[in-house]
Structure 1
């Protein structure tokens, strides 16, 4: 049962940012929505999270997804309160949203995605292999697989 959850968690960790990046690319390339500075940083953090899940780097995944959660939550707050940040440009302001469904904006969707990815990353960090617990810490993957 545990190994099934490990596969599901890793699959979700790869599929969720891949879908989010695809939707973001669709909004930019097909609908011609201009991305702000915070949107670009969220995209980079999504790509970093996807990369971290693909090569199994749990600390990178946790850092990138938590950072993305902070950036997207700040942008969501800016969009809901119409606060203009000094670092955003006038051609692509961070407080403008092209999509709004009640209080849910594009940054709100990103916040939900990063919250889910952060929860998956924290769950990944909480489960240390049994061999590593016996040895008193985390081992390298090659040491665990070879039995050293």
Structure 2
């Protein structure tokens, strides 16, 4: 039996990652943390997730994180400018400016704790937080 999205398009023959993103997009809050060395494709994967989620009706935001406070600033920006209750926010530490494990953990904890409250997607909304660190 083929799986169909809201628009009726078949995704049964889609690549496994696309299927995973489609089904995960039905959950109220998703957190993804991409870890790896520089040049391993974390940023490209985050951008690919954005492309797929845009096709599913999500609004995507991208933030280069240089300080843990950048995470909260992006959440507030998304809350003020969003036009949809389906959001993906991609936090990218591509330059490795958040050196040290504690800075990364603080940034992720802050986002997860505050995201639903700040962005306020409501019960029907969907929020995807993606972090890329090395």
TM-score by length of 2: 0.31
Higher helix share: 1
Structure with the larger RCO, 1 or 2 (CA within 8 Å, 6+ apart): 2
Larger Rg: 1
Higher strand share: 2
